[in-house]
């Protein structure tokens, strides 16, 4: 499978330009969409999920024209939106059975088998009869992925699925996502850089509706080898350092400001060379668009 997005643009009626000339190629496997809030991630995902129109551009899923053949795309799609309501007084088992029926699984025995397997897969078998209203955040997200998996989707879109999950729930949820078939495209939007480095074979950074970077996380990190330096400074010195160096991120620890700068060749006065990470890739790209203090 391959999803090919070409020159996609979208401006909302209030004048906000959410997507500008977005071109991306997504192969099988997990693809991370990284960007600050308001970058356009949800707009892009909703457009791929055939839930909203683009102003211009095209999206192809193998030979399928996503923007036109919506019905066909929906048969191949599993979508977990950023926020979704659940009927509080219905059990997971009943709800999945209902959704499977809506998706065209008419035989009751086949449905029972399918729902049982899905519940097992998302580790909710023992809670299958509990009302959805009593589920924790992590359980709801796992239920959400179970409903998205009905019908064997080839393209799965999950929009910031870990917001509000505790670390253990987040881990469980990610193990589940990574265990999905290799022959599937999973698009995951997040603003957690670490999620992308752990999970995704490919990723893109988007900011203000534009793609700033697209590639493989490991390669992206390698490309910064020998270029990242750090130093602890006083808060009041930041402005001066920003004038002299490209400061890509700052972190306040015990009253000292730890800055990371990117440059070719060692800077003078007390900087220490450090191994780059994906956060450096992210911030060095984003810093070109936004004031580092507002990231």
Binding positions for ligand ADP, rule: CB under 6 A: 12, 14, 16, 18, 35, 37-43
Of 42 and 147, the one with the shorter C-beta distance to ligand ADP is: 42
Whole-Å CA distances, 156 to 78, 222, 223: 5, 29, 30
- Residue 86: CB minimum distance to ligand ADP, A: 22
Other beta carbons within 10 Å of 152 = 12
- Residue 158: CB minimum distance to ligand ADP, A: 12
Yes or no: say if 148 and 127 are a contact pair by the CB < 8 Å rule: no
Of 27 and 38, the one with the shorter C-beta distance to ligand ADP is: 38
Yes or no: say if 213 and 184 are a contact pair by the CB < 8 Å rule: no
Contacts of 118 (CB under 8 A, 6+ apart): 96, 146, 149, 150
Burial class (CB in 10 A: 0-12, 13-18, 19+), 236: exposed
Of 39 and 204, the one with the shorter C-beta distance to ligand ADP is: 39
- Residue 53: CB minimum distance to ligand ADP, A: 12
Of 15 and 265, the one with the shorter C-beta distance to ligand ADP is: 15
The CA-based dihedral angle spanning residues 86, 172, 32, 68, taken in that order and rounded to the nearest 10 degrees: -40
Yes or no: say if 33 and 189 are a contact pair by the CB < 8 Å rule: yes
Distance CA 65, CA 73 (A): 8
- Residue 18: CB minimum distance to ligand ADP, A: 4
Of 183 and 294, the one with the shorter C-beta distance to ligand ADP is: 294
- Residue 179: CB minimum distance to ligand ADP, A: 26
- Residue 188: CB minimum distance to ligand ADP, A: 12
Q: Which run of H or E residues covers position 283?
A: helix 278-286
Other beta carbons within 10 Å of 5 = 22
- Residue 237: CB minimum distance to ligand ADP, A: 33
Residue 184 DSSP class = S
- Count each helix (H run) and each strand (E run) in the chain, helices first: 10, 14
Of 17 and 131, the one with the shorter C-beta distance to ligand ADP is: 17
Of 32 and 40, the one with the shorter C-beta distance to ligand ADP is: 40
């Amino acid at each position: 499978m391959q999803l090919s997005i070409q020159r996609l643009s979208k401006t909302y009626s209030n004048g906000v330009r959410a997507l500008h000339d977005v071109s991306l190629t997504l192969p099988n496997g997990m693809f991370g969409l990284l960007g600050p809030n308001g970058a356009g991630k949800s707009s892009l995902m909703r457009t791929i999920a055939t839930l909203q129109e683009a102003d211009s551009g095209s999206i192809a899923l193998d030979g399928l024209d996503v923007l036109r053949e919506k019905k066909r795309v929906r048969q191949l799609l599993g979508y977990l939106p950023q926020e979704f309501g659940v009927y509080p007084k219905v059990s997971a088992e009943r709800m999945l059975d209902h959704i499977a029926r809506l998706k065209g699984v008419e035989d009751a025995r086949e449905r029972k088998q399918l729902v049982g397997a899905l519940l097992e897969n998302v580790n909710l078998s023992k809670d299958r009869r509990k009302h959805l209203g009593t589920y924790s955040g992590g359980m709801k997200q796992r239920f959400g992925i179970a409903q998205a998996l009905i019908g064997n989707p080839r393209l799965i879109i999950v929009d910031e699925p870990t917001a509000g999950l505790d670390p253990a729930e987040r881990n469980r949820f990610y193990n589940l996502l990574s265990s999905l078939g290799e022959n599937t495209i999973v698009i995951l939007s997040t603003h957690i850089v670490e999620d992308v480095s752990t999970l995704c074979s490919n990723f893109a950074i988007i900011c203000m509706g534009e793609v700033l970077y697209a590639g493989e996380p490991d390669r992206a990190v390698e490309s910064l080898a020998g270029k990242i330096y750090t130093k602890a400074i006083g808060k009041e010195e930041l402005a001066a350092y920003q004038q002299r160096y490209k400061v890509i991120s700052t972190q306040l620890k015990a009253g000292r400001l730890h800055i990371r700068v990117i440059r070719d060749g060692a800077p003078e006065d007390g900087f220490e060379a450090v191994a780059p990470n994906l956060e450096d890739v992210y911030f060095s790209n984003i810093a070109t668009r936004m004031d580092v203090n507002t990231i």
